[in-house]
Chain A
Amino acid sequence: MKKILLMGNPNVGKSVVFSRLTGVHVIASNYPGTTVEFTKGTMRLGDEKAEVIDVPGTYTLEPTSKAEEVAVEMLNEAVSEHSQGNLVINIVDATNLERNLNLTLQLLKRNIPVIVALNLWDETKHTGISIDTEELEKILGVPVVPTCAISGEGIKNLVTRLPDAKVGIYEYQNEERWHEVGNIISQVQKVTHRHHTLLERLGDASIRPLTGIPLALVAMYAAFKIIRFIGEGLIGYIFEPIFDRLWAPLMMKLSFVLGSQGFVHNILIGKLVGGEIDFVESLGLLTTGLFVPIAMVLPYVISFYLVLSFAEDSGYLPRLGVLVDNIMHRLGLHGLAIIPMMLGLGCNVPGALATRVLETRRERFISATLMAIAVPCMALQAMVIGLVGRYGTKGLGLVFGTLFVVWIILGILLNLILKGESPEIFVEIPPYRIPYLRALLKKLWMRTRWFLQEAVPYVLLGVLIVNILYSLRIIEFIGRFTAPVVTGILGLPREAVGALIIGFLRKDVAVGMLLPLDLTLNQLIIASVVLAMYFPCVATFAVLVKELGVKDMIKSAGIMIVSALTVGGILNLLL
């Protein structure tokens, strides 16, 4: 199949063009041998189908980072198969022509047809920029099409002109490239004076410390409130009613048919609590196994990713990174490490993958370890909110407050112990943009689908294993050996070891297993904190081994277990 590569600087609306060109079937995958993620989809081009690839953003073809290396490799691959009609759509930020043309000129030296999309065309008007596109097309020798991907303007034109894409013939000396760019700019672009827009003023205010720090606190508080509001709303008005009114009667019938007890009944429906199904406690595949991921966790996953995607697409995260850079340096990281941490709050797997934005091995070790220990994923958070939250917000404050303090202290310790320095932040701060709803929803859908595919099978497996362990009395057996630690140090009943075993599979199921143990609030707090810290779930574990290597993972796991027992023990003494 013909390949169409979308290439351009980061933050030029590349993925919006991508979602305009492609249909619903979009796949995100890792570039072979790396964890750099890219998305691809397909589009119709006349009678044939073409593969559209959203190449990771790059400023230059002389790579300065892992993502840029991947971009260059993908380009090389497409160039080597040029006989099948591959081409590059170079997405250019029209409001930032100079820096973007630097990449364009490099692309024109490659043996592959190029077409230039002058994106964000509408923004040139209120930024006082006028570009003579015909002149630019003449100079570059390849088609230049103004587009505004967000409104869809120019996309049709871009598609009809794809067959005109040409291999560049523009001649220049590589050392003279910026000079060439300057020449082109002076021929095609005029800039007139203009006033700052509201979004620009907000952009500057949120990166100046005196205004930026209060704004960041407001933004965090608002994000937290919105996530809870949407999450609780989805649970209370949609998911719980569906399970209570539609699913429960159906399951009760099935339970009756199965004779209300017995092996098959226990596996599918679980134990009846007071003659009724309890979706959290029953622990059957069709009851708890579906209720936990869908009705307790999924709503928060949706609301969290909605807010996170908004923060990403609006351009806020790099600003937050700059504001917290100082704090992150105390932990041996730099400001951008806030991004894997934020992703980790959704799910530790993408969080662990995102540690790739950090430059050194040391930083990746520290951030991955800190995240696995002290950044609880949404599945765990949702269950803790569900269980500990019943006793009011004080317990919740203690659980999340403890994890935050652990995050800081452990970071400081790791920074002191591990040799080396943390490199400095270096990042483009994109202008604020109102997120494009369609691209945002597409991203939300991809993330939600990914959660369902990953989580539901593991939850079902977890529930199944719990049943087997209970029926063979294995948990009781292990409980006797682990009692000195579980009861002695952590102050929990010995059966709680079952939750710790299952926590390796799924933390949400593990928290649910605490419910039948009739723990006191303090015990619930300790158990929640320890479950969050002691070890990552198996999905995260697998990614961490790949990211850190076996040796570093063993070190990291050692730190996890020791710090979980220490913190759990201290809580047991204090509470």
Chain B
Amino acid sequence: MNLIDLTQLRQGETGTIVNIQGGHGLRRRLESLGVRPGVMIMKVSAQFMRGPVTIQVGNSQVALGFGMARKIMVNT
């Protein structure tokens, strides 16, 4: 068990979302796309220089900004 945020996850690695350190609005937006605690995700890619992170959630992919990704804590 190793608790890190989404930006620290390596490309191709999987993890389970533990919590989202953000306000209600952010949590709701993420949730509408299926990004919520308890869900297993896989990191597809990260752009250079603190660019957006793309993750695989279930059968779909979601891209989110670096700042958002830092608020999502995952267990590997």
Query: Do A and B belong to a common assembly?
Result: yes
Binding site for B on A (CB under 8 A): 59-60, 62, 64, 95-96, 98-99, 102, 127, 129, 178, 203-204, 207-209, 212, 318, 321-323, 325-326, 334-335, 423-431
Most chain A CB neighbours (cut-off 10 Å) among B44, B52, B67:
B52
10 contacts between A and B (CB under 8 A): A64-B29, A95-B59, A99-B34, A207-B63, A321-B63, A325-B51, A326-B47, A326-B51, A424-B65, A429-B54
Give Cα A207–Cα B64 distance, bound, in whole angstroms.
13
Give Cα A98–Cα B67 distance, bound, in whole angstroms.
26
Question: Which of B11, B49, B62 is the one whose CB lies under 8 Å from A326?
Answer: B49
- CB contacts (< 8 Å) of A212 on chain B: these are 45
Kindly identify, within residues 20 to 76 of chain B, every residue whose CB is under 8 Å from any CB belonging to chain A: 25, 28-34, 36, 44-52, 54, 57-68
Q: Whole-angstrom distance from the CB of A283 to the nearest CB of chain B?
A: 50
On whether the beta carbons of B59 and A428 are closer than 8 Å, the reply is no
- CB contacts (< 8 Å) of A323 on chain B: these are 47
Question: Which of A60, A129, A430 is the one whose CB lies under 8 Å from B32?
Answer: A60
On whether the beta carbons of A62 and B60 are closer than 8 Å, the reply is no
Give Cα A212–Cα B44 distance, bound, in whole angstroms.
12
On whether the beta carbons of B59 and A209 are closer than 8 Å, the reply is no
Question: Which of A64, A203, A322, A430 is the one whose CB lies under 8 Å from B52?
Answer: A322
Q: A96-B58, A99-B58, A178-B36 are in contact. Are A424 and B67 (CB under 8 A)?
A: yes
Binding site for A on B (CB under 8 A): 11, 25, 28-34, 36, 44-52, 54, 57-68
Closest to A322 in B: B63
On whether the beta carbons of A318 and B60 are closer than 8 Å, the reply is no
In the A-B complex, the 5 residue pairs with the smallest Cβ-Cβ separation, listed nearest first, are A424-B65, A429-B61, A59-B32, A99-B34, A208-B45
- CB contacts (< 8 Å) of A326 on chain B: these are 47-51
- CB contacts (< 8 Å) of B49 on chain A: these are 326
Question: Which of B25, B28, B32, B68 is the one whose CB lies under 8 Å from A424?
Answer: B68
Q: Whole-angstrom distance from the CB of A61 to the nearest CB of chain B?
A: 10
Closest to A182 in B: B38
- CB contacts (< 8 Å) of A62 on chain B: these are 28, 32
Question: Which of A98, A204, A426, A429 is the one whose CB lies under 8 Å from B34?
Answer: A98
Give Cα A335–Cα B45 distance, bound, in whole angstroms.
15
Q: A99-B58, A209-B47, A209-B48 are in contact. Are A318 and B36 (CB under 8 A)?
A: no
Q: A96-B59, A424-B68, A429-B63 are in contact. Are A209 and B45 (CB under 8 A)?
A: yes
On whether the beta carbons of A322 and B66 are closer than 8 Å, the reply is no
- CB contacts (< 8 Å) of B59 on chain A: these are 95-96, 127, 129
- CB contacts (< 8 Å) of B67 on chain A: these are 424
Q: Whole-angstrom distance from the CB of A98 to the nearest CB of chain B?
A: 5
Q: Whole-angstrom distance from the CB of A383 to the nearest CB of chain B?
A: 37
Most chain A CB neighbours (cut-off 10 Å) among B29, B34, B48, B59:
B59
On whether the beta carbons of B61 and A59 are closer than 8 Å, the reply is no
Q: A59-B32, A64-B32, A96-B60 are in contact. Are A425 and B48 (CB under 8 A)?
A: no
Q: A99-B33, A208-B44, A209-B48 are in contact. Are A425 and B60 (CB under 8 A)?
A: no
- CB contacts (< 8 Å) of A129 on chain B: these are 59
Closest to A127 in B: B59
Q: Whole-angstrom distance from the CB of A413 to the nearest CB of chain B?
A: 21
Q: Whole-angstrom distance from the CB of B21 to the nearest CB of chain A?
A: 15
Q: Whole-angstrom distance from the CB of A562 to the nearest CB of chain B?
A: 32
On whether the beta carbons of A426 and B60 are closer than 8 Å, the reply is no
Q: Whole-angstrom distance from the CB of A78 to the nearest CB of chain B?
A: 21
On whether the beta carbons of B44 and A207 are closer than 8 Å, the reply is yes
Most chain B CB neighbours (cut-off 10 Å) among A127, A318, A322:
A322
Q: A59-B32, A64-B32 are in contact. Are A428 and B44 (CB under 8 A)?
A: no
Question: Which of A64, A178, A428 is the one whose CB lies under 8 Å from B61?
Answer: A428
- CB contacts (< 8 Å) of B57 on chain A: these are 99
- CB contacts (< 8 Å) of A431 on chain B: these are 60-61
- CB contacts (< 8 Å) of B31 on chain A: these are 178
Q: A209-B45, A209-B48 are in contact. Are A428 and B54 (CB under 8 A)?
A: no
- CB contacts (< 8 Å) of A423 on chain B: these are 65
Most chain A CB neighbours (cut-off 10 Å) among B25, B30, B34, B67:
B34
Give Cα A324–Cα B12 distance, bound, in whole angstroms.
22
Most chain A CB neighbours (cut-off 10 Å) among B49, B58, B63:
B63
7 further A-B pairs in the complex, CB-CB below 8 A; given A62-B28, A96-B60: A59-B33, A203-B61, A204-B45, A322-B54, A426-B65, A428-B61, A430-B60
- CB contacts (< 8 Å) of A429 on chain B: these are 54, 60-63
Give Cα A98–Cα B58 distance, bound, in whole angstroms.
8
Q: A99-B34, A326-B49 are in contact. Are A425 and B28 (CB under 8 A)?
A: no
Q: A207-B45, A424-B52 are in contact. Are A318 and B63 (CB under 8 A)?
A: yes
- CB contacts (< 8 Å) of A430 on chain B: these are 60-61
Q: A98-B58, A99-B60, A325-B51 are in contact. Are A424 and B33 (CB under 8 A)?
A: no
Q: Whole-angstrom distance from the CB of A210 to the nearest CB of chain B?
A: 9
- CB contacts (< 8 Å) of A64 on chain B: these are 25, 28-29, 32
Give Cα A95–Cα B25 distance, bound, in whole angstroms.
27
On whether the beta carbons of B65 and A428 are closer than 8 Å, the reply is no
Give Cα A399–Cα B20 distance, bound, in whole angstroms.
48
